Structure 1
Amino acid sequence: MPFAQEQSKSSTVASEQLSKTETIKLRNKHIGQACQLFYRSDPLKIVRGQGQYMFDEEGTRYLDCINNVAHVGHCHPEVVRAGALQMATISTNNRFLHDELVQCAQTLTSKMPEPLSVCFFVNSGSEANDLALRLARNFTKRQDVITLDHAYHGHLHAVMEVFSYKFNPSGGEKKPDYCARGPLPGHLWRPVHG
């Protein structure tokens, strides 16, 4: 059976569902305002995902073209099984010696050109972009960076400095001298959800 059909619409969620109003109230109380919602005037309350879809509290299905987390689809059974098995064994950082780390690195590097033979494992896209920026600056011995309009790089200090929306007039921050700004190619951008 395709993984998109493995979980039925009636599946339960990990915790008791609150009403949308209760969820918004608790979010406003306990989540920082800097963590903005998509569609602020009428936010979607997503309660589960399956494959390329997300579902709201009423069971409405949405094609997920915006989420930057679920790269192989939501709740892919092979990923869920592998994750559950590993977490049931041990979940630790890469400063301890363990087989899974080196086997994963070996698998990744076997698919890359020969000069790319070393992995740096990080926890998020923000950390990956921060590391890429540090590596580029270390290699070039320069501070300069180019950012595209409407680009998102993460929420770590070094990459936030080069967010174009942070130094747009509405953001109020001045563009750093070492940061050049370029237009996004084509018409692939969307305005900030509001």
Structure 2
Amino acid sequence: MEAKYCRESRIVRTSHVFPPDTNTLGTLFGGKLMAYIDDVGSLSATRHSHHTVVTASTDSVDFLKPIRLEDSVTVESYVVSTGKTSMEVFVKVIAENLFTGERRIAATSFLTFVAVDENRKPIPVPPVIPETDEEVKLHQLAPQRAKHRRTRREESKEFAAFLSTDEYSAQKCQVCKNNLSNDQEEA
């Protein structure tokens, strides 16, 4: 499988920030930005693999600067590293004040996507070739992020095994019942 350059998977989306997209502080809803991030990230992964992709993880979304009503928001993504069937996508969010031209990095994110075939089975993806300083740095640090991702995933699986699917599990919890009894006795 022939390697592809990071730039071949680059997606850039720019949008206005409108009042319905903002919270009570007049800044872009985090959830709205997260939807933009997942959207452009999946487009980069699809462009790189030329297959359907599924989101395997969102490692982080770091909100660094607020995005305000007077701003446009540019969400840029590209594949920075690949495994056998997975692609790590970096997403950079740039806010630009439309009246002053001032630009700032507002958020960054790393997501992992897996390419799948028509039976939803993972399939191999091409390796990636970084070119720019930014791409090289992100590519070099990818094994470290992958290690953290594996550790966090195992911890999440262990925690999920502990969790209940019963929506009333807190009422059945013996510790909770004991605490409630103690509180009632003190009252």
* TM beyond 0.5: no
Using CA pairs below 8 Å that are at least 6 residues apart, which structure has the higher relative contact order? 2
Higher helix share: 2
TM-score computed with the length of structure 2 as normaliser: 0.26
**Higher relative strand content:** 2
